[in-house]
Chain A
Amino acid sequence: MLELQNLCKTWQGRDLLRDVSLRVASGETVAILGPSGSGKSTLLKMVAGLESLDAGRVYFDGQDITALAPERRHFALMFQDFALFPHLDVQDNVAFGLIEQGLRKADARTQACAMLERFGLQALARARVTRLSGGEQQRVALARALITRPRVLLLDEPFSALDAALRLQLREEFRQRIADVGMATLLVTHDEAEARAMAARGYAVEQGGLRLLW
């Protein structure tokens, strides 16, 4: 269970986030909606440990992880631009997190290939990530995020860079794959239809706080 308690963040003198509290159970997906600049992406980075908190605590399974470095939280983060490493091929992108966990490169690659096979991307294992289509890049980014079996998946506008048809198709595929792994998932988006399709609960960021939408 991911639990946020009274998170606060000021930015350029204004309260970006104020007393944000939220619980996300394992296997549950919660969506955060809001316009650009509302602070929803900052909230995600605060949960990931990439952005400092002015106040508040972050817990996972009752353990206070507020001061824990991002790499020790065992969360995975996905951005709208996919953030694939351009100097690595598809297979090594997917294997990246496993190598950081201490796995030998060869073993990590074997596991990455198996993961790519499950995603139907095995033919692209040695391809450069820049040669992939938007949908393929998105799948590789998800495979990279899921392969380490993260405790929490953080999705920052994961479909906004894709066209409408592909967005619909991938939304369903993502929902299914995330459900299969069964971790707590926090989805940030400005698209309410997307949020309703993927998340059991949805909140809007309003004046720095969260308001329950459904």
Chain B
Amino acid sequence: MKLRARWLLGTVPLAFLLVLLVAPAARLAMEGGQLPWSTPWQDAYLRWRIEWSLAQALVTCVGTLLLGVPVAWVLARFEFAGRSWVLHALMLPFVVPNLVAAMGVLALLGPQGVVQALGGAALDSGPWLLLYGNLFFNLCLVVRACTEALGQVSASRIAAARTLGATPWRVFWRVEWPAMAPWLLSALCLVFLYCASGFGLALVLGGQEYATVEVEIYTLVAHELELAQAAALALWMLGLTAGLALGYTALARGLAAPQRADTVPRRRPQGVGQWAAVAVALLVLALVCAAPLVAIVAKTLHAGAAAWGVLWEAGTLQALWNSLRFTLMAVGLATLLGLSHALAARRSTLLRALAFLPLVLSPVAVAFGLLLLYPQWTASLALLVGAYALLAYPFVAQSLAAGLDAMPRHLGQVARSLGASPWRVFWRVTLPLLRPALRRGMAFAAATAVGEFAVTLFLSRPEWATLTTRVYEYLGRPGAANRDAALVLACLLMALALLAFAVIESTNDAMKESTRRA
């Protein structure tokens, strides 16, 4: 593709980013600039919010590091029945909506939760629920990154270390750990970013005392109308997340492309010690990543017919319809934007990095900025769908960029020499080969849109309630019946997320096949 055509194609997503992201962020900066920059730090209450946001992100990083590295090592080095199934299942938390995870944690550990029903104590306050929710989302991310990194360690390097006198433990520290460290660090960067700017989990699980900065921003805007103070807080968070995102980008750029020619063969565990290691790793994954989802299903099945009746309420059907149509519109728009961005950014690192921008700003900051900049459009469907698409399209762009990277340039050149015009090359060669990557990106986009919560809270009208806002609405009402209804709705949301998960996992295999074929 010629340079001019590439930039022309790139103008569509760039203009979109400018209107829906950069301009609102600038407006946010103006609003926040009305107060001294140190305002949030001078107020003890706001300072605690910031400190707690950072502390819970840091604790989550430490937790995922301590649990994730051993689990990843076991998955990377041992072969056992169900291993590939476990690796597939590690994708699941990536598509589970925040609210579903929060409901899962409550169903497991909260009042009248599964643990209490089994004779344990319920947790209804303190930071533990939020930290557990954070672990649910982020442990899989660290495990996947480390498993991938360990898969790149060359077998000959390990053999050389062993013949030079290193014990297996020394081999881990001197050969495997240095190879894994950059991957781990970049994954921890993402974990910190997600946790520090988290909203849904903190809103439901943090309570008054342990709410994060994002929840505080929402409270200041929606309930106290303290816009300048909220903007000042949002600016601090923006600076923090931008710094972390830059760090992540720098680290991710240094990660080597997969070199799988000489990988360490996985072996069957031998002896009690190795089988125990496998069992403990699986137990950790089951307790942290699977238990909340199982708890939702278990609690929902015991909820009784009255709770299931919520599915047929007019409000629920309307919310389901809204969720589906907003998702459909957002995925359509995100696909167009992601496709043009990926094609335009094929040989431009700068353009490619710009696709990450929507992930740098938290959804709360995005929605708040839009609210400030376009007050006349806050109840407009176009703005709502645009905001959904903004949060979803980086996934399409990233997936397609990876698909394009895996595609040899020669294919297009041969097609041109065989008489195909650039458009025909795109239609007959590029698009068919990109199909798995496109499906994967669209599935991630759909999972993001269907579980979207923060933007909907800020920008939607009451009649545009989605499944997520309906879960939150039921959760806010007193009584066990309402909590059960929220659980049933969360189960429905989880089913939609599982659908996206199934599509993603089926395309994972197709992408591997497509890359191998290309």
Contacts and interface: CB of A to CB of B under 8 A. Distances in A.
B410 A76 contact: no
Given A83-B413, A130-B516, A148 B408 contact: no
Interface stretch (A30-38, A95-103, A113-121, A176-184): A95-103
Interface in B392-408: 408
Nearest to B434: A87
Interface of B is mostly: helix
Contact of B421 (A69, A73, A129): A69
A71 B429 CA distance: 14
Interface of B: 408, 410-411, 413-421, 424, 428-429, 432-433, 514, 516-518
Interface of A: 45, 48-50, 69-79, 81, 83, 85-87, 96-97, 100-101, 128-130, 144-145, 148, 154
A154 B417 contact: yes
A87 B514 CA distance: 8
B418 A48 contact: no
Contacts of A128: 517
Contacts of A45: 413
A79 B417 CA distance: 11
Contacts of B517: 86-87, 128-130
Contacts of B421: 69, 71
Contacts of A81: 408, 410
A211 to B, nearest CB: 27
A100 B413 contact: no
A74 B516 CA distance: 30
A70 B410 contact: no
Nearest to B433: A87
A48 B414 CA distance: 10
A77 B414 contact: yes
Of A73, A87, A97, chain B has the most CB atoms within 10 Å of the CB of: A87
A48 B518 contact: no
A142 to B, nearest CB: 12
Question: Shortest 7 CB-CB distances between A and B: which pairs?
Answer: A86-B517, A100-B419, A97-B418, A83-B410, A77-B417, A70-B416, A83-B414
Contact of A50 (B413, B424, B433): B413
A49 B420 CA distance: 13
B417 A70 contact: yes
14 contacts: A48-B413, A49-B416, A69-B416, A70-B413, A70-B417, A71-B417, A71-B419, A75-B417, A77-B414, A86-B517, A87-B429, A96-B415, A100-B419, A145-B418
A50 B408 contact: no
A79 B409 CA distance: 11
Of B413, B419, B424, B518, chain A has the most CB atoms within 10 Å of the CB of: B419
Nearest to A48: B417
Contacts of B413: 45, 48, 50, 70, 77, 79, 83
Contacts of A73: 417
Contact of B410 (A69, A79, A101): A79
Given A100-B424, A130-B516, A86 B417 contact: no
A154 B418 CA distance: 12
A89 B432 CA distance: 13
Contacts of A100: 415, 418-420, 424
A97 B424 CA distance: 11
A11 to B, nearest CB: 15
Contacts of A77: 413-414, 417
A148 B416 contact: no
B419 A86 contact: no
Nearest to A76: B417
A115 to B, nearest CB: 14
A79 B432 contact: no
